[in-house]
Amino acid sequence: MSISLVDLTLSEGAYPVQGSGYIMALDSGTTSVRALIVDEYDDIVASAAKPISVSYPQPGWVEQDPMEILASQIAVMAEVQFKSGIHSDRIAALGISNQRETCVVWDRDSGQPIYNAIGWQCRRTASIVDELIAAGYEDVIRDKTGLTPDPYFSATKIKWVLDNVSGAREAAEAGELMFGTIDTWLIYNLTGGAVYATDYTNASRTMLFNIHTLDWDDELLDMLGIPRSMLPEVRWSSGDFGHVSSEVMTHMPPITGVAGDQQASLFGHCCFERGDTKNTYGTGCFMLMNTGDEIVRSENGLISTIGIAEGGTISYALEGSIFHAGSVIQWLRDKLGIIADAAETAEISQSVEDNAGCYLVPAFSGLGAPWWDPTARGLIAGLTAASDRATLVRAACESMAYQSHDVLRAMEADSHMTLGGLSVDGAASRNEFIMQFQADLLGIPVVQTDSVETTALGAAYLAGLAVGYWEDREELLQNHAHGRRFEPRGDPEDTARYLAGWRDAVSRTRTVIE
Ligand code: ADP
């Protein structure tokens, strides 16, 4: 398939072009796709974004249109050049970061998807996962992939397509189908079908990739009846992924950086060393700790994944997710109506001396790591007649820090490492109350990134390193600008009291249901 959408021949306009040109980074997210132009000092010169639709055909099902993702991505690539006046021939390389696990299957001849993209949040394959566990595959999957079997990962989504789309299994066995995560789908189409590849970080989220041997695993492929012929070649995150075809867009640079969004963010935070950890505070929280060359087998419900695949070395990572973080603030705004804007919450929280013994456990859809109790439900504990709006707002803000604390302590226990600091990004990381409270709870500095675009920056770094735009990681570290730093200043007794109250509240969410 070719998409002749744009033929840009812009003259350089309003923005002065600097020394060695620019890097373009694509951030192909779940609800929007973006393109950014970054200069050698990490500054974002221009960006363009476009929302994309998500459909929910049945309860628990999540789908997206692969063609909409592709067309929107190409449109923002054009728009960002148009807005900045930076012609594509001044762009040295293109990097891609993408929503992970989402599964696209397309026809090798026509290039047309045979079904919608099945989103990472989609739970339709829960019964397939149950069958794998019942058949005794849990340990095999954990040992080989570092993952806990779950519908979240791509593998069972591919099987679902083969089992449910008419003629798909026969076509797959005849070598006529191709599977890809969103990176692969974009690369394949942007290169006019010349490159069918993914990178190690994205491959490690499929639940088909052996993170020890760094290859697709035949036992796992047999387990699900997925032919190897429908899997892309797996490459380093920083390296050659081909050229954008001139039928798609003229004079574009090579694609030389690819990583799943959270891994791109880890790289964008410059978490290059073992023990370096980042936490993104968004709708949920995504935490990754670099564990170096060690694949840590978690005893606390965390997963191991490929964190960085650059410069000929693999760094593994422990990953933990929190389902409800910033979404609790949205809940205060949209369901309780007690705040007008998330930005108010820092000041409101700071307006009270302490939490007055009130805790909000946002187990809206169960408890994640390290508790793993899908039947738990949310709870507000410790209300008194004096409790008011500020009490609830503060409890909601504190809940993000407690949950992050729990996951970080689990990472430390699993890895036998003690963290020296936490690097943070995401919209809720701009809440100074939460960040100070986080530093106090953890007893380590919490450091904001200067740029809010760490995911795109990570993709830009990977792409730039491959073409010599930046020389090495050292140069990235030198350029890397930190934002505000929050030093721990909590009284240890207060911290212990806060944590004890939180643990008590968490335990109540569990016994209520049991
Ligand atoms: P995502 O990438 O997950 O969509 P963002 O990083 O944009 O999200 O974060 C959005 C979330 O952060 C929302 O749930 C919002 O309620 C929350 N949020 C935004 N600003 C603040 C703030 N100042 N304090 C607390 N939460 C905030």
- Collapse the DSSP code of 147 into the 3-class scheme (helix H, G, I; strand E, B; otherwise coil) and give the result: coil
* Structure confidence by residue, pLDDT tens digits, 177-201: 999 999 999 999 999 999 999 999 9
Question: How remote is the CA of residue 428 from the centroid of ligand 1, in Å?
Answer: 5
CA 303, distance to chain mean position in Å, is 14
- Taking the domains of the chain in order of start, what are their residue ranges? 22-260, 270-449+481-514
Question: How remote is the CA of residue 427 from the centroid of ligand 1, in Å?
Answer: 4
CA atoms of 414 and 434, how far apart (whole Å): 25
Do residues 281 and 330 touch, judged by C-beta distance below 8 A?
A: no
**22-260 CATH pick, 3.30.420.40, 3.40.50.300, 3.20.20.30, 3.60.150.10:** 3.30.420.40
Residue 136 contacts by C-beta under 8 Å, 6 or more apart in sequence? none
Token pair, residue 273, equals 């060393």
CA atoms of 23 and 75, how far apart (whole Å): 17
**HEC letters along 182-239:** HHHHHHHHHCCCCCCEEEHHHHCCCCCEECCCCEECHHHHHHHCCCHHHCCEEECCEC
CA atoms of 390 and 379, how far apart (whole Å): 17
For 458, the enclosing helix (H) or strand (E) is helix 454-466
CATH topology of domain 270-449+481-514: Nucleotidyltransferase; domain 5 (3.30.420)
Q: Which atom of ligand 1 is nearest to the CA of 333?
A: 16
Do residues 376 and 513 touch, judged by C-beta distance below 8 A?
A: yes
**Which of 280, 283, 431 has the most ligand 1 atoms within 8 A of CB, as the residue to mutate?**
283
Do residues 101 and 303 touch, judged by C-beta distance below 8 A?
A: no
Question: How remote is the CA of residue 130 from the centroid of ligand 1, in Å?
Answer: 33
In this structure, what are the phi and psi dihedrals at residue 102, rounded to the nearest 5 degrees?
Answer: -60, 135
Residue nearest to atom 13 of ligand 1 (CA): 326
| Residues within a 6 A CB radius of ligand 1 | 282-283, 326-327, 329-330, 342-343, 345-346, 426-428, 430-431
CA atoms of 132 and 153, how far apart (whole Å): 13
478-481 long-range contacts, Cβ below 8 Å, gap at least 24? Answer: 479/40, 479/41, 479/42, 480/42, 480/270, 480/450, 481/42, 481/449, 481/450, 481/451
Q: Which atom of ligand 1 is nearest to the CA of 345?
A: 24
In this structure, what are the phi and psi dihedrals at residue 421, rounded to the nearest 5 degrees?
Answer: -175, 165
CA atoms of 224 and 164, how far apart (whole Å): 14
Give the pLDDT of residue 287: 97
CA 359, distance to chain mean position in Å, is 28
Give the pLDDT of residue 511: 56
* Structure confidence by residue, pLDDT tens digits, 377-398: 899 999 999 999 999 999 999 9
Token pair, residue 278, equals 């980042």
Give the pLDDT of residue 8: 35
Token pair, residue 68, equals 């909409």
Q: Give Dmax over CA atoms of the chain in angstroms.
A: 70
pLDDT in tens, the chain (514 residues): 333 333 333 333 333 334 469 999 999 998 899 999 999 888 899 999 999 999 999 888 999 999 999 999 999 999 999 999 998 889 999 999 999 999 999 999 999 999 999 999 888 999 999 999 999 999 999 999 999 998 989 999 999 999 999 999 999 999 999 999 999 999 999 999 999 999 999 999 999 999 999 999 999 999 999 999 999 999 999 999 999 999 988 889 999 999 999 999 999 999 999 999 999 998 889 999 999 999 999 998 899 999 999 999 999 999 998 988 999 999 999 999 999 999 999 999 999 999 999 999 999 878 888 887 877 889 999 999 999 999 999 999 999 999 999 999 999 999 999 999 999 998 899 999 999 999 999 999 999 987 778 999 999 999 999 999 999 999 999 888 778 999 999 899 999 999 999 999 999 988 544 4
- Collapse the DSSP code of 287 into the 3-class scheme (helix H, G, I; strand E, B; otherwise coil) and give the result: strand
Same fold, 22-260 and 270-449+481-514: yes
Give the pLDDT of residue 367: 83
Q: Which atom of ligand 1 is nearest to the CA of 281?
A: 6
Do residues 486 and 439 touch, judged by C-beta distance below 8 A?
A: yes
Nearest to 257 by CA among 104, 38, 504, 462: 462
Instruction: Return the residue matching tokens 């430390």.
Output: 412
